[in-house]
Amino acid sequence: MTNRTLAPKIAMPSHLDLVHSQIYTLQNGLKVHYFTGCSEPVLNLSIYNKAGKYYQNKDMVAFFTMSLLKKGTNNFSASEIEEKIDFLGASLYTDSNMFKNSVSLSCLTDNLETLLPVIVEILTESNFPEEELALEKNKQLQKLKVNKKKNEYLASVLFSEAVFGKNHPCGKLVTEEQIRDVSREDILLHYNNRVKLDSESIIVLSGEINADTLEQIDQNIGKMELQGKEDFPFRTFEPEREREIVFPVDKSVQASLRIGMPLDIDYNHQDYLDLEIVNRILGGYFGSRLMKNIREEKGYTYGIYSFISNFEIGSYFCVATDVGLAYKENTVSEIYKEIFRLKTEPISIEELEMVKNYHKGRIMKSIDGSMRMANVLSLLLPLGLDEEYINKRLEAVENITPERIVYLANKYLDIDKMYKVIVG
C-alpha cells in the first residue's frame, strides 16, 4: 500500500528527446525555421534582424525606426494598416532592443495570406511620415520626463552606463536632445541599411501550418530582394572606472540599488551554463538566498533578484532591488555577505537539489509547446545555437557540484570589481 505520508520522489530528466524545427528555404535563400503541432488554427510568424542600438549610427535611431515601421508606407496610411490588422483579429508587433529588431505577426492560419503583403509592405515601402515622427517624439519626451522621476529607471540606466561605458551605444543615457535630434532622413538611412532583410535575417514560424502556409510565405517574403550590408565595427564594453555611483533624489523614501559587473563569458562557454545555476542560488528565484535574507529575514524589500544578461559581445551580472531609504547600506552589506558565502561555503545537498529541480523546471516550461519552443529558438539562432543547447543546459544542472559552485563564484563574482549604483 502506498504510504501517503511520504512525498513522491521527484524525477527530473537530464536529457530530452527534443522536437527540432523543420527548415523551409525560400526562393531568395532565407530559411524559415518552423514548428508544427498546435491544436488551434493560429500562427506566430517572427522576423529578426541585426539592427538594434548596437548597430545604429545615431542615438535613438533604431528605436524610432521600429516604432514607426507600421505608421505608413508608400501605399497605405497608418490607419489603413491598423484597420486591416484589427479587422482580421490579428496582432502585428515591431520591437528593437540592444542587438536585434523584430517584426512579429500573430493571426489565424486562414488569414495569413491576406496579412503577408502587409509584412512585405512595411519591410520594403515604409515612408516614416513626418507627422508620425513628431507624435512619437512627443510621446517619448513625455515618457522620459516621467521615467526621470522613477528611481528604478535611473538606477538601471546608470548601471548600464557604468557597465557598457558612457560612449557605448548600449550604455548611453537617453536625453531630450537625442530624441529631438532624430530626423526622418536618419530613420530612412537606418531602415535601408539595417532593417531591410538580408542574408542573415532569421524567420521563425509556429502554430497550425497547413500545406499552403509555407508556399504563401515564399510567394511574399521569398520574393523580397535581400540587401547587402557592410560589416559593422566591433564595439566592446568600455566600463567606467568609477565603481560607486550615488544619485540622491530629494524627498525619496526608497532607494533603488544595482550591484554587478561585466563578465568575460558568453553562451558558448561551459562556465556560462554553470554560472546560471550559481546565479539561481544567489538571487534567481523567489526562494533564493538574497530573497530569504533581505526580504524574509530583514524585511528591507518586497523583492530582490539577481540575473545574468548575455549578448553577442559579452555579458554582465546584476543584483537589483528597491529598499527603504534607511536600509540601503545594510542591504548592500547583506548582498556582499551572500556573495561571499557562495565563495566560501559549499552549498548543502538539500538546497542544491531544490535549486536543480527549479532550474530544470523553468527550462522545461520554457519549451512547453511549439510556440514556446519557437520563442526559445528565436533567442538561440542569432547566437549561432540551436535546440540542442537546451539539453546542454539540462546536463549542466545534472552535473554541477557544490565544489564547482564555489569555484565559479570565486572566478566570476569579484566584489572589488563590481559597480554599485544607489539612487534615492
Q: Are the C-beta atoms of residues 87 and 211 closer than 8 Å to each other?
A: no
- C-alpha 296/C-alpha 313 separation (Å) is 37
Least Cα distance to 345 among 285, 402, 271, 280 occurs for 402
Q: Are the C-beta atoms of residues 201 and 30 closer than 8 Å to each other?
A: yes
Q: Are the C-beta atoms of residues 107 and 125 closer than 8 Å to each other?
A: no
Q: Indicate the pTM of the whole model.
A: 0.90
Helix (H) or strand (E) holding 174: none
For residue 93, the cross-strand partners are: 104
pLDDT of residue 10: 63
- C-alpha 389/C-alpha 375 separation (Å) is 14
| Number of residues written out for the chain | 424
- Across the beta sheet with 419-423, the strand order is 244-247, 419-423, 254-263, 314-324, 304-311
Distance of CA 324 to CAs 157, 164, 338, Å?
20, 28, 20
Per-residue pLDDT of the chain (424 residues; tens, 9 = 90+): 667 777 666 666 667 777 889 999 999 999 999 998 777 899 999 999 999 998 998 999 999 999 999 999 998 899 999 999 999 999 999 999 888 999 999 999 999 999 999 999 999 999 999 999 999 999 999 999 999 999 999 999 999 999 998 888 888 889 999 999 999 999 999 999 999 999 999 999 999 998 899 999 999 999 999 988 777 777 778 888 889 999 999 888 999 999 999 998 888 888 999 999 999 999 999 999 999 999 999 999 999 999 999 877 778 999 999 999 999 999 999 999 999 999 999 999 999 999 999 999 899 898 888 888 899 898 888 888 888 999 999 999 999 999 999 999 999 999 999 999 999 9
The position carrying cell 520626463 is 145
One-letter amino acid for residue 417 of the chain? K
Domains of the chain in sequence order: 22-223 (3.30.830.10), 244-423 (3.30.830.10)
Q: Are the C-beta atoms of residues 25 and 218 closer than 8 Å to each other?
A: no
Burial of 365 (0-12, 13-18, 19+ CB in 10 A): exposed
Give 355-368 pLDDT, tens digit per residue: 999 999 899 898 88
C-alpha grid cell for residue 399? 552535473
- C-alpha 51/C-alpha 62 separation (Å) is 7
- C-alpha 373/C-alpha 294 separation (Å) is 35
How many Å separate Cα 385 from the centre of its chain? 16
Interior CA angle at 246 toward 240 and 250, to 5°?
145
Burial of 1 (0-12, 13-18, 19+ CB in 10 A): exposed
Give 208-241 pLDDT, tens digit per residue: 998 899 999 999 999 999 988 777 777 778 888 8
For residue 258, the cross-strand partners are: 320, 421
The Cβ-side half-sphere exposure at 275, using a 13 Å CA radius, reads: 25
